[in-house]
Chains A and B, each alone.
Chain A
Amino acid sequence: MNTLNEVSELAAAYDLVVIGAGPAGMAAATLAAGAGVSCLLVDENPAPGGQIYRGIGSTPLTERRLLGEEYWKGAEIASAFAGSAASYLPQATVWQLSPERELGISRGGRTRMIRATRVIMATGALERPFPIPGWTLPGVMTAGAAQILLKTAGVAVSGKVVLAGTGPLLWLIAAQYLAAGKRFDAILDTTPKGSWRKALSELPRFLASPYLRKGLRLMATVRGSARVISGVTALAAEGSDHLTQVRYTVAGRESVIDADHLLLHQGVVPNINMASASGCAIDWDDEQLAFVPRVDAWGATSVGGIAIAGDGAGIAGAEAAAERGRLAALDALAALGRITPEEKARRAAPIRAIVARYDRGRAFLDRLYRPAEQFRVATDATVACRCEEVTGGQIRDVVANLNVLGPNQLKSFLRCGMGPCQGRLCGLTVTETIARTRGVDPAEVGYYRLRAPVKPITLAELATLEHSEAEIKTVARG
């Protein structure tokens, strides 16, 4: 790869721009660059890997067993990308992707507009919002954040630590912490009691998927060495300026446990901000309880020339993400005239077989780890929108009394979703809260209408844009 350090080093146009350097983005850029197209991969982080393989080339934790063999699979994808002819711009923010495939890219306070014939968004997933009382207190962070600290800096959350929530990643993070010699005062499992029954019909397909052995091994490791409390139905972080205790309910009985840290996790959902802002159609997925961009079997969105690969187009996991990246790259190569439709189909067949193998286990996981409603919808006193500090009670009040129909109208009254995170940490909560209050489906309520800039940029950055003579004269007087 050819690493770029400044936006001034960017070409004015590329055949393909890939956004995001996780498994999907790295695999897509590697395959496309190998076919000789001009390809740029832009990423926000200092090094390739995305979140799942975060710090893969730079982690101080070289003892492989600490992060597990699954993590080190990322090294192969990252080294293939490093050996490719793709250009790579790290630590950069794509703040705009227009439907015409014009991209606004910032790095180090300077910004450029460039063009792409094809775009593959590989912007991945983020942890599902987990609105419980006190979740804004210092001492509370996502379990994913604790994992990133471990992977990138070799720093572990220590002292009295409580891990709470549900989902496959919860067990992975627990296992990694235990392998690093850390302990948990308690693991509060919020998986609803009836979930096993609901997931049973999907069990045969799950048994044939690669997830089974991995999952059982993780859970056995964790249950063998940590105090796991199942059937948790309510959760609150308490303290004045910092977390001091966690209150939880099991079988109607409330308990309190002292804690310095509470790590929260209840699954991951597609990060749809850029897809939505560039006009891609988004649908509500009731199995994944999330908004998911509408894509075809190649990852192509409803906007011409723009595809999405990896978890950003629906959660399917890291291994599938790399394969979905390759499918989107093949589609781009065919559209660019570099391969024939026949070659595209021929090369895609073995990739599809791998994706199908991982798909087999997904429905089971979605059902088993479907987060309970009380953890998706904020209670009256709980902050739903962290940026603007809007509570569940305020949302219900405005929706019920002022007949507000959706999240965009709600902005006018409460500024919900208008803070710097641009709805990333409240969007799903707000949609579901409105849906429950109105007694309608989340699909009918819809999501925030998102616009560029999809990440905040300063006026000073915008002022670094180059202007043509005509543009300057537009505003000249006399």
Chain B
Amino acid sequence: MYQRLPEPGGMPIPFTLDGRRLEGRAGDTVAAALLAAGVETCRTSAVGGAPRAPYCMMGVCFECLVTIDGVGNRQGCLVPLQAGMAVETQLGHGKRELAR
């Protein structure tokens, strides 16, 4: 689990994950907002289908890949959270991309 420290935090930022309403704070990246909301597994691995979660939070490991506003494979730890963002987990074998 993840806890926000009781410091005066930034403004609440509403967004959705797979259609579900969640809330982050101003200054969060997408990956940080997901973790703070208790969401760890953001995708399954391309080869073995194993669950994966953000690992480095600094843009090198590519474990935090999510779909943001329809664009797949974004590095969640590098994208600042914005109000109204539609974030999707990447579970399964890319059916969404095939359906296009």
Asked if A153 and B25 make an inter-chain contact with CB atoms under 8 angstroms apart, the answer reads yes
Asked if B52 and A144 make an inter-chain contact with CB atoms under 8 angstroms apart, the answer reads no
CB of A127 within 8 Å of the partner chain = yes
Known: A153-B36, A154-B4. A241 touches B58 (CB 8 A): no
* Interface residues of B, dominant DSSP: loop
Chain B residues closer than 8 Å to A138, beta-carbon distance: 40-41, 51-53
Chain B residues closer than 8 Å to A386, beta-carbon distance: 55, 61, 63
Report the stretch among B5-13, B14-22, B92-100 that lies at the interface: B5-13
CB of B57 within 8 Å of the partner chain = yes
Known: A139-B40, A139-B53. A420 touches B62 (CB 8 A): yes
Which of chain B's residues 47-80 have a Cβ closer than 8 Å to chain A? 47-48, 50-63, 65, 71, 73, 77-78, 80
Q: CA A153 – CA B24 in complex, angstroms?
A: 9
Asked if A60 and B56 make an inter-chain contact with CB atoms under 8 angstroms apart, the answer reads no
CB of A387 within 8 Å of the partner chain = yes
Looking across the interface, which residue of chain B has its beta carbon closest to that of A157? B2
Asked if B10 and A60 make an inter-chain contact with CB atoms under 8 angstroms apart, the answer reads yes
| Interface size counted on chain A using CB atoms at 8 A | 52
Chain A 79-114: CB-based contact to B (< 8 A → 1; otherwise 0): 000000000000100000000000000000100000
Asked if B8 and A60 make an inter-chain contact with CB atoms under 8 angstroms apart, the answer reads yes
B55 smallest CB distance to A (angstroms):
5
Asked if A141 and B53 make an inter-chain contact with CB atoms under 8 angstroms apart, the answer reads yes
Contact of B1 among A58, A260, A388 (CB under 8 A): A260
Asked if B3 and A158 make an inter-chain contact with CB atoms under 8 angstroms apart, the answer reads yes
CB of A389 within 8 Å of the partner chain = yes
Chain B residues closer than 8 Å to A166, beta-carbon distance: none
Taking residues whose C-beta sits less than 8 angstroms from the other chain, chain B's interface range is 35 or more
Looking across the interface, which residue of chain A has its beta carbon closest to that of B36? A155
Looking across the interface, which residue of chain A has its beta carbon closest to that of B57? A145
CB of B23 within 8 Å of the partner chain = no
Asked if B58 and A126 make an inter-chain contact with CB atoms under 8 angstroms apart, the answer reads yes
Asked if A62 and B7 make an inter-chain contact with CB atoms under 8 angstroms apart, the answer reads yes
Known: A138-B41, A153-B36, A158-B3. A91 touches B57 (CB 8 A): no
CB of A142 within 8 Å of the partner chain = yes
CB of B86 within 8 Å of the partner chain = no
Asked if A241 and B56 make an inter-chain contact with CB atoms under 8 angstroms apart, the answer reads no
CB of B35 within 8 Å of the partner chain = yes
CB of A61 within 8 Å of the partner chain = yes
B78 smallest CB distance to A (angstroms):
6
Contact of A389 among B48, B55, B60 (CB under 8 A): B48
Report the stretch among A44-52, A281-289, A403-411, A430-438 that lies at the interface: A44-52
Chain A residues closer than 8 Å to B47, beta-carbon distance: 388-389
Chain B residues closer than 8 Å to A425, beta-carbon distance: 55-56, 60-61
Q: What are 29 A-B pairs with beta-carbon distances under 8 A?
A: A54-B58, A60-B5, A60-B7, A60-B9, A60-B25, A66-B5, A91-B78, A91-B80, A109-B71, A136-B52, A137-B51, A138-B41, A139-B53, A140-B53, A140-B55, A141-B53, A141-B54, A145-B54, A148-B58, A148-B77, A149-B32, A153-B4, A156-B4, A157-B2, A241-B51, A242-B40, A260-B1, A387-B46, A425-B55
The chain B residues found within 8 Å of chain A, CB to CB, are 1-5, 7-10, 25, 27-29, 32-33, 35-36, 40-41, 45-48, 50-63, 65, 71, 73, 77-78, 80
Instruction: Given contacts A148-B58, A155-B4, list 16 more A-B pairs with CB under 8 A.
Output: A45-B59, A46-B29, A60-B7, A66-B5, A141-B55, A144-B57, A145-B57, A148-B57, A153-B4, A153-B32, A158-B3, A180-B5, A241-B51, A260-B1, A419-B62, A425-B61
